[in-house]
Structure 1
């Protein structure tokens, strides 16, 4: 039995804090909900918190949202696929774009629907994900500028989302200068620079984000409180919005080292926490708890036991094994163990139909 325990009070706290920081900067906030994988209970909780703008990368989630709560402004977080252009215009208010051909097709679809579709033009600034090469920006902008059913809402960039590079103020200033260039050349205001994200929040708190960066797309920091620059949790945020509960199916005292020859190829999920390996002596024994979450369910390497004395010894496709020392809590089969989790681990669990999702009621 695996359950994700969702604490709406922790999420609300984080949302209110991030929204205040962004507002104090003179910017607006769109909450990235793709990690929720369309979980209706959490989406409803966000609406109750006052969230008005959300972003997702799955059109099915946005369709469900449009049917259940049409009040949200909806952003589509990836460049649209050619096979999904009709749905993008139907279901979303804003999409992120990098290809001229795609934007022209969006214009055709919007014209047939007697609608105007808004776009953010995403610029490549070194993270090497999607983005228009700066040398091609003016030419592409000139073509998009002439489309009658496309409204260019602004410029954007993905920073620290793919290659692991730490964003810089210089990159943000490049976006500001590109906007100034385009506004001067085409005599049309570009309202937004959409470059803020969870990774930029530490910069924001240090006062290092240029004032012209006036739109933030934030998910991970609101849901998990993660500090992607320094590690750990951003000061002032909570890290207990999503907790995994897994059941113990075996508890036994065993050797802490395997017997016989080992081979890396036989270990498909090498996730052992080796922080205490240096203190281990040959023949040492301890209690091991086998719990019900495995590699089939999620990325085990992103699990962190809430009890800091527990260590992950390893995992298979079906189970994870914990070293629990002398078992001071007298854990038994049927008891449960709790884990915090990284973003990748959370996304896979939320998308996993085998994992129950439970909204915790306020006490």
Structure 2
């Protein structure tokens, strides 16, 4: 008997997605670093990336890169999150390249590399207004570039930026053009070309598709754009060659009843301290699913495969759906399926309470 909730991963479609993104980027001389953190570094997912032509495997978690290094010793690895001082020994061990924005951390990495007689490749991050990681002061960036260039244990691979993950700033010709101008000045200062000008992550795909990507950008860090198609809901683009159902969540109905849609009594906060707004839609056929926020994050971002199902919300262990308009007469014990967005995937691949099944 099948166990639920269950996450079904179609590895063939995932490999096709990786191949499509690699081909799309190659047309504009852009290399792809395949980000695996959205799927929590599941090894079959990494294998699908490699089969799809991804040469560089990227994550913000060194634990995931360690597994990659053990399974695929020849794979190039890229650490995405600025490293903690406490993990730089393992950084040098498991990552070929890392994103950096602190000069004291660079000094510590250089010292370790000199002791180990090795060299670590560095991409200096620039904050172009999204206000997460990166050098914000131009002169500090140039000084850091000179520091890395002179260091015996470091190699200045290039510079990069992140846009959209915190400040919701969209990549465009203006901000990525500024990144290119910074790169040109650094190249003038050090007397050679940089190997990498990394123009962001999946949020930069929409600019690429619209033909607005500056020609000097030659590197993108893509995860969500390979795993899912959810970014198309938020940006004005579509990649019809991609599969949006590479990951599906299946959950079992544990209760089905007719109930009101507006809570009865004095409304305070929910289990997470939020004050949701409720809409009175009258009496509806409501069902509870045996999966909740602890397993999938915000369940309202799920996309039911049966388009007549509506997701109302839920709690840590339950998801509430509306079955009123369904032609299928769902009963307790039946299973419903959903496509998902990035947040749902991040939670579901990590949850020990969700069975993983590979196609």
TM-score w.r.t. structure 2 length?
Answer: 0.92
Q: Which shows bigger deviation, 47-56 or 343-352?
A: 47-56
Structure 2 residue aligned with 1:63, among 62, 66, 86?
66
Q: 1:2-13 to 2 correspondence within 5 Å? A: 2-13=5-16
C-alpha distance in 1 between matches for 2:286 and 2:236: 29
Assess if the C-alpha contact under 8 Å between 2:292 and 2:319 holds in 1. Answer: yes
Assess if the C-alpha contact under 8 Å between 1:224 and 1:238 holds in 2. Answer: yes
What is the RMSD of the two structures over their aligned residues, measured on CA atoms? 2.1
- Counterpart of 1:309? 308
Which consecutive segments of 4 or more residues in structure 1 shift more than 6 A?
269-274
C-alpha distance in 2 between matches for 1:55 and 1:182: 25
5+ residue gaps, structure 2, are none
Assess if the C-alpha contact under 8 Å between 1:5 and 1:358 holds in 2. Answer: yes
- Counterpart of 1:20? 23
- Counterpart of 1:237? 242
Secondary structure of residue in 2 paired with 1:227: helix
C-alpha distance in 1 between matches for 2:236 and 2:228: 12
In the alignment of these two chains, the number of paired residues is 353
The CA deviation string for residues 120-172 of structure 1, in whole angstroms up to 9 with x for no partner, is: 00011101000012231122222222101100000100011211112221111
Assess if the C-alpha contact under 8 Å between 1:196 and 1:213 holds in 2. Answer: no
- Counterpart of 1:246? 251
1:338 aligns with 2:337: yes
Q: 1:130-141 to 2 correspondence within 5 Å? A: 130-133=133-136, 134-141=138-145
Secondary structure of residue in 2 paired with 1:243: strand
C-alpha distance in 1 between matches for 2:325 and 2:80: 48
Change beyond 3 A, Cα 1:271–1:322: farther
1:42 aligns with 2:40: no
1:185 aligns with 2:183: no
C-alpha distance in 1 between matches for 2:100 and 2:41: 23
C-alpha distance in 1 between matches for 2:225 and 2:276: 26
TM-score w.r.t. structure 1 length?
Answer: 0.91
Assess if the C-alpha contact under 8 Å between 2:202 and 2:225 holds in 1. Answer: yes
Q: How many Å apart are 1:224 and its aligned residue?
A: 0.3
- Counterpart of 1:212? 216
Change beyond 3 A, Cα 1:243–1:262: farther
Structure 1 residue aligned with 2:199, among 195, 201, 206?
195
Secondary structure of residue in 2 paired with 1:265: coil
The CA deviation string for residues 58-89 of structure 1, in whole angstroms up to 9 with x for no partner, is: 11111111111212110000111100011000
Secondary structure of residue in 2 paired with 1:167: coil
Structure 2 residue aligned with 1:99, among 102, 105, 108?
102
Q: How many Å apart are 1:316 and its aligned residue?
A: 1.8
Assess if the C-alpha contact under 8 Å between 1:202 and 1:234 holds in 2. Answer: no
The CA deviation string for residues 174-228 of structure 1, in whole angstroms up to 9 with x for no partner, is: 1111111111122122111011421111111111001100001100010002336
- Counterpart of 1:292? 290
5+ residue gaps, structure 1, are none
Structure 2 residue aligned with 1:221, among 221, 225, 231?
225
